[in-house]
Amino acid sequence: MSGADVPPSAAAGEPKTGAQHRRPADEVKGRLSLFPGAFGELAPHAVGREPLAVIDIGSNSVRLVVFEGCTRHPQTLFNEKVLCGLGRGVGATGRMDRQAVDQAIATLQRYALLCQTMGVQAVEAVATAAVREAEDGALFVERVARETGIAVQILPGAEEARLSALGVLSAFPDARGLMGDLGGGSLELAELGDGGVGRQASLSIGSVRLKGRFGSDLEATRAAVAAALDSVPWLVANDHEVVNFYAVGGAWRALARVMMAHEHAVLPILQGFSVDGGRARDLAQVIARQEPESLARIPGVPAQRAELLPQAALVLDTLFARLAPARFVVSAFGLREGLLFASLPQEERRADPFLAACRDIARRHERFPAHAQALMTWIAPLYEGPDAPCASESAAERRLREAAALLADISWRGHPDFRAERAVMEVLYGHFVGVTHAERAWLALALNTLYGASSSTSLARLCRRLVDDEARRRAEILGVALRLAQRLSGGTREPLERTRLALINGRLVLSVKRGAECLVNDVVERRLAALARRLDLEWGTTKEG
């Protein structure tokens, strides 16, 4: 048996060489609920809030992600990757390295046991370029099934590209341009536009493969990448404008970390990080010439990823040289999220992922039910109608206003001295998609004001670096309006239904229905006066009926 062979499984209960800690197959089988599926289409019973898992067996890493159900914005319960390097020898020998295979099997046995203990209802396990292209790929899949109980689907390249593109669409519903998912063994490309996936390609120019084949010879690497790109007719034709390039995969996420450091990014959040396309290419050229040791010293760049950054940068540079995209945009969502997105009903796919996440947070954190919609209705007179003081609100700000109402109770259970800080940090650094860094900052400023914090705190100053003065003013007006509504209502719906805001003869008036006059006290009046000052209006109260 050669060093690249996949050894057969030992019988149940017999020792396994090199991995004494592994569990016998009969201890795993029958206790892990598995659903192999058909290339990423999860079973209907998996849609909902029962925990499910995706195992992604790539050329560089083997990853387990456990999701809290299959929803529009799935929450992650657990996320772990192990850099096994299955693709290290495939380009040279056609077979996977034996040590890498053993490490992958041990990793998958750990994942199987973790899924059992977490009560995972369904597991979707997929393998990409290394297993797909290796001569012993089928033997590896058989061994995984015997020793772990996990059924693995080997994804064709085009299907991998489609699913990665669907993952990007789940995070950027209006995505327009080209998706590129750079893995260890391959580069997947797919067109995006009009809410769908267009032409696709899969090329064997992953960063692990390029490193193994050409080492540090960047010119030979560039020639191989260019030749691979030349094999895609619709890339050669260049018959379309690439508005945005959506970068997916660990290698390009590490590359984006370096770009963040170069650009002094305000928020260290990969999702939605964006750079001008020309600037991204300039940075890629610089990074391609750096030594991995110096790249590894950059915060957030793992040493094992740094080893492959020059190759990842060179692929980006070569691709951008012919496509010239307007923007480089990072997507934290890719293949794994695409598997879940593909299983959702069409109606749920069309939902706004950011507002879906905010609604989920509201269900978990609101003090009393149905409060968010009541808040939106109550402050509507400030925004709707030709004479409303905030009638020029954009569609994007209308969306953020709804998000602020949904998140109004996000920190109420926290310590009073730190509620604002907690709310701001949740928005700035939370696991959201479908929202830009500037929009995070706008929403954070609104919540900062809602919770009564100063606009001069360090977090507020950080937010102001991402929005202009007019946007800041409008965010703070929303925060003051919500602060008034929260004090008036005590976080409940009925007081808001028994009062209303109105613009009467150029004055901001709080009208109160008969029998509810006691709702208005000195604190409420002070907050009404604060809102009126923000709007440069006089104020008053009146009784109705």
**DSSP characters over 191-256:** EEETTEEEEEEEES--HHHHHHHHTT-HHHHHHHHHHHHHT-HHHHHT-S---EEEEESHHHHHHH
Pick from 24-33, 127-136, 302-311, 515-524: least confident: 24-33
Q: Is 352-544 in CATH node 1.10.3210.10?
A: yes
Backbone angles phi, psi at 102, to 5 degrees: -60, -40
Separation between Cα atoms, residue 411 and residue 432, nearest integer Å: 17
Dihedral of the alpha carbons of 462, 73, 75, 463, in degrees to the nearest 10 = 0
Tell which CATH classification among 3.40.640.10, 3.30.420.150, 3.60.15.10, 3.40.630.90 matches the domain 158-339: 3.30.420.150
State the span(s) of the chain assigned CATH 3.30.420.40. 25-155
Helix (H, G, I), strand (E, B) or coil at 434: coil
pLDDT of res. 48:
57
Q: Is the pLDDT of residue 74 over 80?
A: yes
pLDDT of res. 242:
79
pLDDT of res. 355:
96
Q: Which residues of 67-101 are buried (b: 16+ CB within 10 A; e: fewer)?
A: bebbbbbbbeebeebbbbbbbbbbbebebbbbebb
Q: Find, among 419, 429, 382, the residue nearest to 401 by Cα.
A: 382
Tell which CATH classification among 3.30.420.40, 3.40.50.10420, 3.20.20.390, 2.120.10.30 matches the domain 25-155: 3.30.420.40
For tokens 């993952």, what's the residue?
Answer: 167
pLDDT of res. 76:
93
Position 267 confidence tier, pLDDT thresholds 50, 70, 90: very high
Element (H, E) at 343: helix 335-343
Separation between Cα atoms, residue 355 and residue 467, nearest integer Å: 21
For tokens 């004090």, what's the residue?
Answer: 487
Helix (H, G, I), strand (E, B) or coil at 38: strand
State the span(s) of the chain assigned CATH 1.10.3210.10. 352-544
State the span(s) of the chain assigned CATH 3.30.420.150. 158-339
Q: Is the pLDDT of residue 39 over 80?
A: no
Q: Is the pLDDT of residue 200 over 70?
A: yes
Q: Please, what is the angle between helix 277-288 and helix 250-263, to 10°?
A: 100
Mean pLDDT of 164-173: 96
